[in-house]
Structure 1
Amino acid sequence: MSRVRRSNDWGFPRWRGYDASREATTVRLCDRHGCEEKGDCPAPKAPNSPERWYFCQRHAAEYNSKWDYFEGLEKAEKEARAKAERAESAGYAESAHYGWAGSGDGSRSADEMRALELLGLEADAEFETIKKAYRQRAKQVHPDVKPGDEEAAREFQALQVAYEVLRAGEERRTWRG
């Protein structure tokens, strides 16, 4: 007589979670050649195409960095779609008002990020660090220190603009919060 084996799913407490099973699950791998990661981020193969690539997060980010979502559209249609995109994402920008956002987490504009790059600072730099870096670099290329040097004068002007952009952004953030 064969022996019947009981399941783990009877009685209380349950021995495993609800909807848990022992069957193997199918995992789709990243479509990037040579990648063995799980491909759970769909990306369109072409604009307005139902076909999709499935990438891991790293390769999806790489793919999306070069993607032009408005490719092939007329100028007026491109502007209308960009305006609609901004309107849909306005809530995310507005969340900074409630103190949910801080330095280095997407609350800085692209201009502020370029200014930080010019000063050689990280995205999450505090404003005191920005001030110190600006003063240090400005002293090196100031027109009084290097008279007649046009390259130094251009760099000094770029540093001034970068500092003004960062100062205005900091004032905007401190005024909100």
Structure 2
Amino acid sequence: MARQGRSSDWGFPRWRGYGSAREAVNVRLCDRAGCNEPGNCPAPKSPNSPDRWYFCEKHAAEYNAGWDYFAGLDKEEAAAREQAERRTNEGYSDSSWKAWAGPGDGSRSRDELRALEALGLDPDAAFEDVRKAWRTRAKEVHPDVRPGDAKAAEEFQKLQLAYEVLRAAEERRTWKGSGI
């Protein structure tokens, strides 16, 4: 009878490290043709089907690029669904509030996007661009420049509100980012 050799645990199995097994680990590859990356992102093959594709992160992003969560809903239904989702998934909005992400990557709220649109800026505009656009446009429609013009006064109030929304969001980001 051949001796098998000593184990490194000296008879105490709890001394072994966890996951120290030597057998091969099965890795599922990406289902995209020609991709050799691990496929760890499941995606449905069709609506209401339990069958899934398994893509790598790059191909999962490509798969989801044209997906619209609010497809087929009118404005009121979409707003109601968004409000219900925000009520149950505070963690996602919490990450953007703590400025874990930069501008233009989904970290801005819908109110901030509306404010940027009112100022005529892109969604990834920096706060300095916001300040410049607000000053330029506010000077054009300020009530002191156009006295008695109701439309200009309304436009000025709209610009003022948009600036306040963006300023408050910027203050939250810088305050949370400072680590205080």
TM bucket, shorter chain = 0.5 to 0.7
Maintained 8 Å contact 1:27/1:38: yes
The match for 1:168 among 157, 165, 168 is 165
Q: Structure 2 stretches of 5 or more lacking a match?
A: 141-157, 176-180
Q: Secondary structure at the match of 1:46?
A: coil
- Residue deviations 1:123-165 (CA, integer Å, cap 9, x gap): 6x3x235435x48xx69xx9xxxxxxxxxxxxxxxxxx99974
Q: Structure 1 stretches of 5 or more lacking a match?
A: 143-160
Q: Could you state the TM-score of these two structures normalised by the residue count of structure 1?
A: 0.57
Question: Percentage identity across aligned positions?
Answer: 52
Matches within 5 A, 1:97-176: 100-101=98-99, 104=102, 106-109=106-109, 112=112, 115=116, 122=124, 125=126, 127-128=127-128, 130-131=130-131, 134=133, 165=162, 168-174=165-171
Residue matched to 2:38: 38
- Residue deviations 1:20-71 (CA, integer Å, cap 9, x gap): 2100011000111111110011111111111111111111122122224465
Q: How many residues align?
A: 150
Q: Secondary structure at the match of 2:43?
A: strand
Matches within 5 A, 1:2-13: 2-10=2-10
Q: Could you state the TM-score of these two structures normalised by the residue count of structure 2?
A: 0.56
The structure-2 alpha-carbon separation of the partners of 1:82 and 1:102, relative to structure 1 and needing over 3 Å to count, comes to closer
The structure-2 alpha-carbon separation of the partners of 1:122 and 1:37, relative to structure 1 and needing over 3 Å to count, comes to same
The structure-2 alpha-carbon separation of the partners of 1:120 and 1:88, relative to structure 1 and needing over 3 Å to count, comes to closer
Q: Secondary structure at the match of 1:23?
A: coil
Give the AA of the match of 1:45. Answer: K
Aligned-pair Cα RMSD in Å: 4.6
Runs of 4+ in structure 1 displaced over 4 angstroms? 11-16, 69-83, 110-116, 118-123, 161-167
